[in-house]
Structure 1
Amino acid sequence: MDRSIKASTTDVWMSNVVEQSLVIEDLLRYFPIVAIDTEFPGFLRDTPRHASDEQHYADVKHNVDGTSIIQFGLALFDASGNQPWPGCCWQFNFADFDPDLSASSPNSIRLLQESGHDLHKNRRNGIKSTQCYSLLRHKLFRGHNAKYITFHGLYDVAYLMKVLTAGRPLPDTLPEFLFEAGNIFGELYDLKHVARSCPGLLGGELGLTKLARLAGFDSMVIGLVFTEMKKRWEIEKAQFVMVLYGVEKACVEFKIKASIERAQRLSNDHPAAAAAAVVFGGRQLQLSCVAAGERSSVQPSATGAVLLSFLALPNAVHALFRLIHPLEDFKFRA
């Protein structure tokens, strides 16, 4: 079943990055749910299927440190799923990647070019992250009560962290990475992890169909999926915050350790509050571990625009976007 979504995409280059960052900053007050996606030049090193969380992060660090972001997509929503205007999204095009010199996966570059990316134009006119990182971090990622939404978002978080720290190498350890990610993003949900706890999905697995490799469009789709999931399941829970698919166990352990450390800091002046924090931490660990389950694969994949499939629903009604029937911009063809 083929589906298309009409997007109103604003391309952001070096020439208009200040203007558009200010526009987004203003809109964030009214549309604080931020769906994000990135495009990057593939993997230099693949992750084995049953790698530990630590090995998985070591591969992420190797890949992200050794390559450069190509595009960052962003779409805004309010709590009811409304957007500033229908289909609106932004694509931040970066100049960091040199198609003639930068490390990449040839297959990934071919797929990006087939999807419409002009990598030489990005190199000429794109955003120089080392010059704009402070602008992007302060306008889009700091000082807002925003919620950030990803899908299979470990690499998205990692590449954005690199951009927002002026190209600095990722932290050496996974706990250090999670600490810094929490400081940047605050409240972030990875829908691929959240789906594990959604009744009706077959083991939390999501069918994933690639429609585009354009980060703006993809971020809008991720936001639409989040809106529809919220209608059916209670997914905005503390147990899901900052738990990234592929390294769930390490994320949960990091959160519990942080909650215990907070309790210890409270213990001198507020013993009752400290006890409550420890109890909450233990409960959160239990819930999150159940939600995480066993990983079917830790091999990362570029997100793209997604179709989330309800494999367990009757009559093989496979696409989550069937639920979004009120949107006129969806065109369904059998």
Structure 2
Amino acid sequence: RKRALSLVRVFLFSLYSLTEISRLTVFTTTRSVTYKARFHNFKVRSRLEFGCACLLFGLLEMSVLPKGDSVHIREVWNDNLEEEFALIREIVDTYNYVAMDTEFPGVVLRPVGSFKNISDYNYQTLKDNVDMLKLIQLGLTFSDENGNLPTCGTDSSCIWQFNFCEFNISEDIFASDSIELLRQCGIDFKKNNEKGIDVKRFGELLMSSGIVLNDGVHWVTFHSGYDFGYLLKLLTCRSLPDNQAGFFDLINMYFPMLYDIKHMMKFCNSLHGGLNKLAELLEVERVGVCHQAGSDSLLTSCTFRKLRDNFFNGSTEKYAGVLYGLGVESGQTTN
């Protein structure tokens, strides 16, 4: 009889969980998972009930994270650029969370001189390198507020990976370790040269796509000063501004709502490290190849949602507009 009553309670607990799922707080580490339930007038009285509750919530969490065989990375080259942007224009109003990652030739310059603070030094380093170097790859993952990805009329969820033609490994400057890492991760520099996208044409299509100059679009990134620097360079067809104030003016114009996960991590005592480490701590699985922009943008998207739901109770607005390592010390944000 006790077992029967316990099973009934598990069933009722499951139904209640489905309707009150926002009141569950989940803390995860690499080796263990602890579920903290904050329900009104409902207590988990047995190990069976607790185990079933954990299983239920785990299944719910798994169900909204994309599986590798259900995600298609749409490779974009010069010959299919316009048709892919046509798809993006159709989905952006519904899937208005845009996770972004770039691949570029590393960092080759460090400025010398005196700087008021570390953020000014960081910005000068960013500007010098972005002005000199060329974008190799851009990944975009679109999702709605609940983390659902577009399917674009197919049986699979889809994300985008744009391959650019400007970088020439035999002529352009680069950081050797960065390029070797990208080569090991499968980027074909010769193919990029031959079939890649012209950045000026990309900038024109991006400008009219609906994903920039739009405060209804939420940009999701990780330690993204360089990512936004390269996007601003191709959108404006100019070198970056001489100072952070000018840089943030452009950010505020083109990307009025953005989140930098690296900045948000400062408010989570138990979290540290880069994107891969954070994904590991939150038990978010990668789809695709590390250090390719499409896969990294998807990992960024899934990690952001897990972080938002588990550590910020689904509300992150007050953390928007700050780029990690830039502007914070001098009070400059995009807002």
Q: TM-score, normalised by structure 1?
A: 0.69
User: Once the two structures are superposed, what CA deviation does each residue of 1:105-133 show, in whole Å capped at 9, x if it has no partner?
Assistant: 11111110110000111111111112331
Aligned twin of 1:267: none
Q: Which segments of 5 or more consecutive residues in structure 1 lack a partner in the other structure?
A: 260-334
Q: Give the secondary structure class of the aligned counterpart of 1:92.
A: strand
Query: 2:214, 2:255 within 8 Å by CA — same for their partners in 1?
Result: no
Identity of aligned residues (%): 32
Q: Does structure 2 retain, via aligned residues, the 8 Å contact 1:10–1:90?
A: yes
Residue 82 of structure 1 aligns to a residue in which SS?
coil
**SS at 2:246's partner residue?**
helix
Matched AA of 1:90: W
Instruction: Indicate whether 1:110 and 2:177 are aligned.
Output: no
Does residue 29 of structure 1 match 2:93? Answer: yes
Indicate if the aligned counterparts of 2:78 and 2:197 stay in contact, CA closer than 8 A: yes
Measured in 1, the distance between the counterparts of 2:239 and 2:322 equals 22
Match of 1:282 in 2: none
State how 1:179-258 maps to structure 2 within 5 Å: 179-198=249-268, 201-202=269-270, 204-206=271-273, 208-209=275-276, 212-232=290-310, 233-234=312-313, 236-250=315-329, 253-255=331-333
1:162 corresponds to 2:233: yes
Q: Across the two proteins, how many residue pairs are aligned to each other?
A: 250
- Aligned residue in 1 for 2:219: 148
Normalising to structure 2: TM-score of the pair? 0.69
**Rounded Cα–Cα distance in structure 2 between residues aligned with 1:120 and 1:141:** 30
Once residues 227 and 71 of structure 1 are traced to their aligned partners in structure 2, the CA distance between those partners, rounded to angstroms, is 24
Is the 2:213–2:256 Cα contact (8 Å) retained in structure 1? no
Uncovered stretches (5+) of structure 2, i.e. residues with no partner: 1-29, 32-65, 278-288
* AA at the equivalent of 2:83: E
Segment of structure 1 superposing worse, 228-237 or 113-122: 228-237
Secondary structure at the residue paired with 1:209? helix
Coordinate RMSD, CA, aligned = 2.5
For 1:117 and 1:207, locate their aligned partners in 2 and report how far apart those are by CA, in whole Å: 21
Q: Mapping of 1:1-334 within 5 angstroms?
A: 6=68, 7-46=71-110, 52-85=118-151, 86-139=156-209, 140-143=211-214, 145-166=216-237, 168-198=238-268, 201-202=269-270, 204-206=271-273, 208-209=275-276, 212-232=290-310, 233-234=312-313, 236-250=315-329, 253-255=331-333
Which AA in structure 2 matches 1:171?
A: P
Against the structure 1 CA distance between its residues 236 and 181, is the aligned structure 2 distance closer, same or farther, given a 3 Å change threshold? farther
Aligned-pair CA distance for 1:143:
4.0
> 1:320 aligns to what?
none
Q: Secondary structure at the match of 2:328?
A: helix
Q: Is the 8 A contact 2:97 2:220 kept in 1?
A: yes
